[in-house]
Structure 1
């Protein structure tokens, strides 16, 4: 089955289960488990032989117990740093003693892991594929990951959940960091003792994740078929669900393992049997490929009746209701008698109930997030808004993403008209400036005219669009008219393309005039 047809059958928002392979694929500074321990050992001892001794101690027939290797390495690392206060790892000792001042006893070994992985660099050749991955986030319910780094939660802009916070979570829009995170080194799980403690406390977390896995499609990425994380998860599920039931069959059909195969463009999903000792054989779906772009494209194009983004909004309100907040709840009609497609949840004031996914103002405030996600579903709402001619609204990028807008032509005429009013017969008075920073720091340009200077610089191609984008992404007051003006000019210059015209007449500056 083609990956397109497999994903098209999803009836709920998928959950991603992310492993080390994803960080290795996209990040410059990432490690396998073996690679991480080997690197730390090398930095500590300035030789690879100490790590080889640890592997020999905890190896059997070519397999190694990395949890016990990590335990021995942690002991040696901590003891060495304790003896050498101001040596090579002085900055780690500094962090250790800063934490101890507030009775926060964190292993120096884990502080170093956190320091090592706290910042990441995306590989230059993978940036385009990461941009495609970002588009997937609008259709993803949650992410579960065993990775320590913060790559996936930062590009998805999901809430990070570590340790007991998993139990108090809103499942939609969350990243479950089940093995810990660089942002909280005390929760990092890496040694045999860590894993033993984790499994003792895991039952409630297991129940929380089990609910996700039973009701949502699960896509494993960054793992191979023999990974213990996958086997343990499958054992957990089918310990609670009878493998011979229709529910079990439904769950199996929802599992997809994406296994990396270098240079493969394969797009076909096949069956695969996983043999597990002491357990029955379990059949799941698998695709071996290097064509992640095709997977991301089809996940991004997945169209479900309710977006994951809006389920997050609803769950936040329901959470307030559960907690006994000052919210009145009124249920009308016989809800149980309604068909699924007839049910509506309305959230609003007591006097006037009106629910929209986003207002025109919110669309502009979230412009870059919508473009990053290529969120065509959300943009269908534009046809339902009454956007006035005198309103700044950036339609060019939105119309490229959502190609079925009835109001596209009218809104482009409106946007062009607003820009014409900004530039026609106006003086380009700050031609010496090629950056936004230089305009802002020029004391000869009045504060009231700095935005105009920026607009002229963008329209006349003096200020690079990459700089304008960075400026707009960091803009604080996104409700302001200045933000909307600059956004509309940026949108026009970047996305109008062949539709751009020379209708704007900009005058040369008068002598001595600003």
Structure 2
């Protein structure tokens, strides 16, 4: 048996996608199933032991084309929201979710999301199993499709990028690798959660577009379904929308390409058979693996590996897509010669373009505004040597001035043109006009300037009237970081007045000088 499962997965042309249902969350987080979740929500505002049964009874006498539970959830949500707004004692959500409700989110969905998030605690029994999944996912899982709301994958497969809801899936630039598609929404965005009848109605209305997206994945990748029962309406509806777009020959080809994992707590090891889904005139048969230990599947999946981590492949595909579309270098494309000491024999090297100029932020892609911001925020993910090697080239378009003191180290003395950029005297940063007018201002500290309550632009200008010894470095650092935390584009030409940029750049050069003072001149 073991050989058959391993052989089947190892014979796949590519690594698989996982299609994950609620049984996955029940296993690892011990979260409730749908009915239990709705019963819990009813108890928050109605202690009558027959309250949930009354909703169930009411819904059963109505047509429910999207299933009984969505209609039950609709009735509960109406009463829950009414009570929530009038009875503060039933409110459990924190400030984050409260703000979402103020902005129009349903209290019911917010409370459901809060409850699931607060109770998403890993069952210690499966700690090693989850650790195995994390390792396997690095090179052996192409991506995840899930109808679950919780944040399991954001927490344990954090290198995968998540897309929430159908809208995100339909209109985002997907790369089809190292991504999580949360087609029924997420607790991180309660309004996206698909739970009531209207949610399912809207979901079904757009299902043809979703089916087209999923069809591409289903045709290109093996799919392993986990956490679903064969009778699950969610998975039946999704599969039905897919097979309607396929020929009988294509459907038949899915037999070994699709694996349905059925959980059976009584089984030791596993059994392999068939699982059949019937949809109108179509019949979809897939391989069924029955087991109680998910690590069996994870170990089998691990037999099939990509040569590079899937996360890296997704970044590469995304960056190459942008580069091809815009012809503009991006910050994650970096060029190095093949004999670069940082490239080992096992590395995959991709060379694009020339290497005449050191490649930072792509090929000559970095801007002066990015450079200045990086001095404060350190958000250009490149080594100091690379940045300093590029500095002389960038400085040519900046009148030969660029803050580098805080990046400088003596071991980089051999970089051509670098020493010309080092600022050796504080007053070299300050204009003669400002130096001349210092005595008139009478400031002795940053606090003196702040007390004047100038607008931000004038405040930055007046800080420059302080002498080197009057500026507290830590206070200046906090001040500059707060500017970029509030407005990451503060230095953009289209975004800022020219005098604002001039004043902010001057302060960054002062900051750079003070930060690099000791190591530059020791």
1:267 to 261, 266, 270: 270
Aligned twin of 2:80:
77
In 1, Cα distance between the equivalents of 2:136 and 2:266? 22
Paired residues of 1:13 and 1:216 also in contact (CA < 8 A): yes
Report the equivalent of 1:346: 350
2:513 corresponding residue in structure 1? none
Aligned pair 1:40/2:45, yes or no? Answer: no
Instruction: Provide the rounded CA distance (Å) in 2 between the counterparts of 1:221 and 1:127.
Output: 18
- Cα gap change, 1:353 to 1:309, in 2 (>3 Å): farther
| Cα pair 1:3 1:268 within 8 Å, conserved | no
Q: Which runs of 5+ in 1 are unaligned?
A: 330-343, 355-361, 363-514
SS in 2 for 1:58: helix
Is structure 2 residue 256 aligned with structure 1 residue 253? yes
1:282 maps to: 284
Equivalent residue, structure 1, for 2:111: 112
Residue 271 of structure 1 contacts residue 285 of structure 1 at CA under 8 Å; is this kept in 2?
yes
TM-score between both structures, scaled by the size of structure 1: 0.60
**CA shift digits 1:16-61 (9 cap, x unpaired):** 0000001111114x01000100111112212331101111122379
Q: What is the alpha-carbon distance in structure 2 between the residues aligned to residue 271 and residue 90 of structure 1? A: 45
Alpha-carbon distance in structure 2 between the residues aligned to 1:97 and 1:130 = 32
Range that drifts further, 185-194 or 220-229: 220-229
- Structure 1 vs Structure 2 CA RMSD: 2.9
Unaligned runs of 5+ in 2: 334-347, 359-380, 382-522
Which of the numbers 16, 20, 23 marks the counterpart of 2:22? 20
**Kindly tell me: are residues 154 and 204 of structure 1, through their superposed partners in 2, closer, same or farther at Cα, counting changes over 3 Å?**
same
Q: Is the 8 A contact 2:254 2:286 kept in 1?
A: no
C-alpha distance after superposition, 1:427-483 (max 9, x if no partner):
xxxxxxxxxxxxxxxxxxxxxxxxxxxxxxxxxxxxxxxxxxxxxxxxxxxxxxxxx
Give yes or no for contact 1:235–1:279 (8 Å, CA) kept in 2.
no
Specify whether residues 353 and 39 from structure 1 end up closer, same or farther in structure 2 by C-alpha distance, changes over 3 A only.
farther
2: CA distance between counterparts of 1:275 and 1:248? 12
Structure 1 residue matching 2:45: 3-state secondary structure: helix
What TM-score comes out, normalization by structure 2 length?
Answer: 0.59
Closer, same or farther: CA 110–251 of 1 in aligned 2, 3 Å: same
- Partner residue, 1:395: none
TM-aligned CA deviation for residue 235 of structure 1: 1.8
Per-residue deviation, 1:166: 1.4
Check conservation: 1:3, 1:267, Cα contact below 8 A: no
Cα distance in 2 between the residues matched to 1:128 and 1:87: 40
| Whole-Å separation in 1 of the counterparts to 2:99 and 2:33 | 30
Matches within 5 A, 1:191-340: 191-243=196-248, 245=249, 247-276=250-279, 278-304=280-306, 307-327=309-329
Partner Cα separation in structure 1 for residue 350 and residue 195 of structure 2: 46
Once residues 249 and 199 of structure 1 are traced to their aligned partners in structure 2, the CA distance between those partners, rounded to angstroms, is 25
Distance 1:125 1:97, change over 3 A: closer
**Range with greater deviation from structure 2 (65-74 or 6-15):** 6-15
| Secondary structure of the corresponding residue to residue 354 of structure 2 | coil
Deviation for aligned residue 1:229: 2.5
Q: Distance in 2 between matches of 1:268 and 1:50?
A: 42
Per-residue Cα deviation, 1:197-229 (whole angstroms, up to 9, x for no partner): 122233333222221111100000000112122
Contact kept in structure 1, 2:207 and 2:241, CA below 8 Å: no
Q: How has the CA–CA distance of structure 1 residues 155 and 83 changed in structure 2, closer, same or farther, with 3 Å as cutoff?
A: same
| Structure 2 residue matching 1:281: 3-state secondary structure | strand
Larger Rg: 2
Give the 5 Å matches for 1:349-360: 350-351=354-355
